[in-house]
Structures are given as structure tokens and as C-alpha cells.
Structure 1
């Protein structure tokens, strides 16, 4: 009976693997640390969710220059997520520390 489990597992992996790969590419994390966004410049496809995580000891807020998205003040370990549905360039900054900047480019 053990020999029958292998083909079943292989079949499940072949079916699930593409879905897992697609899910992995649709979420990206931007770390906030040492008064920087990392990565500061990012290129993604429509439908991707970007999550900013504050790894600094002080609050930061993520604001897109055209106000497409805006986080509350993020304390240490707080997160903010936004899903990009349209192509374009989205420049953003920390409203508490305006010298902190980044850009998300969404391409089909």
C-alpha cells in the first residue's frame, strides 16, 4: 500500500505547485528600518499586495504622493498592506520623516 501513496502525492504536488508559486509572487514585503524603505524601488505586476513592516524603534507612516494609499502611524512591528491593481508609478514617503522615500512600479 505504501507504493500507492507516492503517485498520489506526486499528483497533488503537480497540481498545487503552480498555485503556490503564483501566491508567492503576489505578495511582497518592504522593510522599514534605519530610516529607510528596503527595497526602496520595486517593480511588481497588477494584483500584487505590498506589505510594509516597521522594524524601527520609532513610528513611521507610508503615504503615496497622490494619496492613493496612506497608512496610520506604524509602531514597531506594525504592518500596512496595499494591493496594486492598476499599472503605473507610485512614489511614496514617510509622512513623519519626509526624507524617507520609495517607489512602486506596476507593470503588466
Structure 2
């Protein structure tokens, strides 16, 4: 085979191999390490938040699976909402209008905020901005 033909084949085949490597089923296969297996960097799934739905009353929000649960909570004025990070990664709780903001919450960490005015408060995790939720405060 001549060098020219070999180069031409390499130029034609290489992009196909790169594109084939980018393909996939679109289904997550999971990531992580087996117990006892050393890891130089923690793994993290960046899928869309799994939490949906809403709740009324108790003022408790769980942070787990890169989502706030419930995604919408309705409380009365004067209610203290407590967020607890049950995830393996750090998160924050920050209102889009900056009316409240937690420090970074490590696993097991909590943040409390008492809502004194009616309104709709959208918030997010500033570390993972795709994590969003809402507190609706009624009179």
C-alpha cells in the first residue's frame, strides 16, 4: 500500500472513529468506584433533577440526587423552611432575588430561613445552577 493511500485512509477513518466514540444510547450507565478501589476524583452524575411535585405546610426541603425535593413548597408567612443536604456533594440554597442565601452545605448540613412576606421565591444551587426550586409563601 502506498504512503499516499495509507494517509488518505487514516484521514478518512480517524474522524469516523472519533464520532463513533461520541455516540451512545443516551441512557446513563452509572459511575463510581467499587469499595476499596482508590479514586483520585469523586464521580458525579450530571443528570436532570429527579424531584418534581409540590408540598404544603411543613417547611422541610431535602437536597438529594442533585435536586431539591419537593421542587415547589407552599408555606404560610412566618414558617421557617429547613433545607437539609442529604446528597454526597456540597450545595447552596440561594434565592434568585438574593433575599436569602446559605453558605455551602456539605453532606448533612442544614440551612434555615423564616419567610416573613407572602410571595413566590425561586431559588437555586449556585454550585449546580440546573438545580432549581420554588417556595410559595401565602398570608
Task: State the TM-score, normalized to the length of structure 1.
Answer: 0.75
In structure 2, stretches of 5+ residues that fail to align are 1-55
Partner of 1:85, secondary structure, is: coil
More strand by share: 1
Aligned ranges for residues 11-90 of structure 1 at < 5 Å? 27-90=58-121
Report how far residue 36 of structure 1 moved: 0.4
Report how far residue 66 of structure 1 moved: 0.6
Greater relative contact order: 1 or 2 (C-alpha under 8 angstroms, separation 6 or more)?
Answer: 1
Higher Cα Rg, which structure: 2
Task: State the TM-score, normalized to the length of structure 2.
Answer: 0.58
Report the count of equivalent residues. Answer: 84
RMSD of aligned Cα (Å): 1.4
CA-to-partner distance for each residue in 1:48-105, whole Å, 9 max, x for gaps?
0000000001100010001000000100000000000100000000000000000001
| Runs of 4+ deviating beyond 2 Å | none
Distance 1:36 1:30, change over 3 A: same
Distance 1:67 1:92, change over 3 A: same
> 1:45 & 1:66 partners in 2: Cα distance?
19
In structure 1, stretches of 5+ residues that fail to align are 1-24
